[in-house]
Amino acid sequence: MTTKRKKLVLVGNGMAGVRTIEHLLKLAPDLYEITVFGAEPHPNYNRIMLSSVLAGGASMEEIVINDLGWYRDNGITLHLGRTVTEIDPGNRKVYAEGGIEAAYDELIMATGSNAFILPIPGAEKEGVIGFRDIKDCQAMQEASRQHKKAAVIGGGLLGLEAARGLLNLGMDVTVIHINEYLMERQLDRPASIMLQKELEAQGMKFLLKKQTESVLGKQRAKGLLFKDGSMLEADLVVMAVGIRPNTALAQRSGITVERGIVVDDYMRTNLPGIHAVGECAQHRGIAYGLVAPLYEQGAVLAKRLAGIETGGYEGSVTSTKLKVSGVDVFSGGIFVEPEGARSLRYQDEIEGVYKKLVVLDDRLIGAVLFGETGEGASLFSLIKSGESIAGREKELLLGLPADALSSGGGGGGASARLEAMPADEIVCGCNGVSKGDIVSAIEGGCTSLGQVKGCTKASASCGGCKPLVEGLLQIYAGDDVVTVKEGICGCTSLSRDEIVAEIKRMGLKTVKEVMNVLDWNNEEGCSKCRPSLNYYLGMLFPAEYKDEKESRFTNERYHANIQKDGTYSVIPRIYGGVTSPTELKRIAEVAEKFAVPLVKFTGGQRLDLLGVKKEDLPGVWEALDMPSGHGYGKALRTVKTCVGSTFCRFGTQDAMGMGVRLEKAFERMNAPAKVKLAVSGCPRNCAEATVKDFGVVAIDGGWELHVGGNAGVHVRATELLGVVKTDDEVEEWASAFLQYYRENATWNERTAPWVERVGLTHIKSVLDDEEERKALHARLRDTLDRTVDPWKQIVNEPELRKNFEKLPAAQAVPAAKESGERTEEESA
């Protein structure tokens, strides 16, 4: 007889709440039937890494902590993009958008916090945003494509992260801060001044001791007015002045709220069965905003819900270890000297290093490190333990012989410090992984850094804790420690080249076969390796391999770009940006027939039909009767052209004709990453060919061929591959270059980093060999001759179309999570 499981509802799909569920599943996997509501259309992701997403250093996929498969595998009912609107404590039910309701025996409130928007005139204008979630990142990325001047209000950590991201997006960024120095909550004045100098060298501007009076502009922000009467021009204003616990739902439900949702030491609210954790909770008068305290709260609550005896949560001594625009910073405890305390400082402005220790009654109570933060964890351990450091102050400050850091100075060094570290001490702040979690993983058989990372997520984000994890491996795994080189993902230690070589050698023909024969750790693979294997097999065996749709990203399966509201963007191919009245009429008729909300000219000279419902996609493509522009795929996207000699008085060659020829030659071409071409009819380069993957520029009597350009976050001008005379030579060289790239680049690697990695000299040496060049050209032609436009399969095969239309309503999660690419097809 099976025991009926109790019902647990989690309101909030963020880091603190889901971490509590993770703990609970380990302690009592079968005790609860779990339902999770998330207001965002994304699975649980690492909010700490948002600045990396904004700056282009990480994709959405890379910051996801638990993908959709995790919820499914643990039997969790997940409602994404559904905000809970009401709690009925009497009947123990919650109600959410869309008419969804769920009963609960236990309810966890983990609603997080909201960005605080200053209550000043003009704060409601277009172009004024906070910095709190993926949607904010996307809004800033979109603004950077249209505007150039940004103002960030707030010189704390969040503001500096936003500013760094906007700098990387090519904006002119000024940070406004009300205090006289930056990050005053984490740094003292000397460290802050050193940080400011470093950031100014990177291009950031600062206005300190400034108070914003209002946002200027009519409908859109155009600048800021300050209390002293001065002004700053800006068409994007990011407010990063703090967060406020999200307590509106709790207040409406009769839960006691002060600054946050008031909880006791066991995270219980005043109402039976309702608990709160994370940034929304207020414990002993404090609402925490750092990850470690929130995870400590979750661990206590998970034990309580699992029926395990545990002490209560008593509050946290906090520390912050972070990287601000590439600069390592650490602070912990009380770093501003209280009465009776003394401080020890070390400063080296040449090397950019600053250290400060605050000591009271021979105990370390606070520390600030700038530039070198390796001792941060050891110092924080001393702050928490409260042990005497009498006689060891100098060694601790200067980081002198490691043995001096051991307790009592008697040897053992850093290893002794790691052994003495409490089990509940957080080692990985990004993912809230404690020393105990890591030791348990090691004792459970994890003997390499990669295995520990895969099991616990320690060092999987910023990597700052990697030395500590390696130190714990040395202590607790001893001689069993193995150094495993990392492969294309956590499922294998094999590199791209090794995988391709083995596929060729053994004649492996399916994704499943590759994973089985090459001993994949995860027999089902993951969202990183499955698409890459699918591509490698198709590239190696175009005549035999049958494309695995289930290994493609959502956008590629639906042949359209999913948007944030769950609708789709359809981009028919318009060769070289050249169209006709008949084609335009057809697009207009389709837009009217299917009530398409928006038709937009793209940056790649095409028309984008935005807001198409999923169930309408087959009908839209059938009515268009035009090839797909592959605005969603790792394939040829656009071939941008100018009018060339056909109309322009400066044109020396037929740029439109060449653009159409190249686009028709390479349409349907799959590649390791998206590929963009351009053809300019003269050296004035109106088609911007010198920032494309392959650019063609007309000169008198011939064509220049340019490769490896990129106009995105990391701008890179092309390099000159060579000069040819005829149109046929342009196509042959373009084809050979693209095929050599297809055969040798790693999955997701654009031509710009690939050309940098292998070197233009090497590429030239390959393509200069006429026999090899013609062979590459022939292989690409053979592949493309076997490929049909994907939409013809859907439109012309009734069974495929029927199955497609049966698919459940799409959400924005899979595409954004899996591809990590923007939804605008023309993103550089």
pLDDT tens for each residue of 338-386: 889 999 999 887 778 899 999 999 999 999 998 888 778 778 878 888 8
Residue appearing with tokens 């052994």: 419
Which residue, chain included where needed, has tokens 């056909």?
646
The C-alpha atoms of residue 599 and residue 583 are separated, in whole angstroms, by 14
- Could you give the CA distance from residue 670 to residue 540 in angstroms, rounded to a whole number? 12
The Cα 371–Cα 394 span in angstroms is 18
Cβ–Cβ under 8 Å, residues 675 and 739: no
Give me the DSSP letters along 435-452.
HHHHHHHHHTT--SHHHH
CA distance 243 to 49: 17
Closest CA to 19 of 398, 278, 223: 278
What stretches in the chain show pLDDT beneath 70? 1-3, 56-57, 321-326, 399-414, 416-417, 424, 429-430, 461-464, 483-486, 553-554, 564-565, 713, 789-828
Instruction: Please report, as a single letter, which amino acid is at residue 146.
Output: Q
For residue 340, how far is the Cα from the chain centroid? 45
Domains in the chain, start-ordered, CATH in brackets? 6-113+245-306 (3.50.50.60), 128-241 (3.50.50.60), 496-551 (no CATH), 633-788 (3.30.413.10)
Q: Using an 8 Å Cβ cutoff, are 84 and 96 in contact?
A: yes
* Residues 472, 493: Cα–Cα separation, whole Å: 22
| SS3 call for 467 | helix
96, 83 Cβ separation under 8 angstroms:
yes
Cβ–Cβ under 8 Å, residues 534 and 633 = no
Nearest CA among 570, 582, 577 for reference residue 790: 570
Q: What gap in Å lies between CA 356 and CA 331, rounded to an integer?
A: 9
Per-residue CA distances from 310 to 22, 56, 265, 304, 313 (Å): 17, 43, 11, 7, 9
∠ CA 23-28-30, nearest 5°, is 125
Q: What is the mean pLDDT of the chain?
A: 86
Task: Enter the DSSP assignment of 489.
Answer: B
What is the model's pLDDT at position 795? 57
Q: What is the pLDDT of residues 44-96, one digit of tens each?
A: 998 888 877 887 667 777 788 888 889 999 999 999 999 999 999 999 999 99
Estimate to the nearest angstrom the gap between the alpha carbon of 314 and the chain centroid: 33
Residue range 199-246, pLDDT digits in tens: 898 889 999 999 999 999 999 999 999 999 999 999 999 999 988 999
pLDDT of residue 588: 93
The whole-angstrom separation of Cα 344 and Cα 365 is: 12
* Predicted pLDDT of residue 411: 40
**Which residue has 């946002």 as its token pair?**
215
Q: Distance between CA atoms of 48 and 42, rounded to whole angstroms?
A: 15
pLDDT of residue 363: 94
Which DSSP helix (H) or strand (E) runs through 28?
none
Contacts 24+ apart (CB under 8 A), 230-235: 232/151, 232/174, 232/176, 232/207, 233/149, 234/149, 234/150, 234/151, 234/174, 235/127, 235/143, 235/147, 235/148, 235/149, 235/150
Closest CA relative to residue 312, chosen from 300, 296, 295:
300
Helices (H), 393-464: 393-398, 413-420, 435-443, 449-456
- How far is Cα 545 from Cα 539, in angstroms, rounded to an integer? 9
Question: Could you give phi then psi for residue 260, rounded to 5 degrees?
Answer: -130, -170
Q: Are 55 and 168 in contact (CB under 8 A)?
A: yes
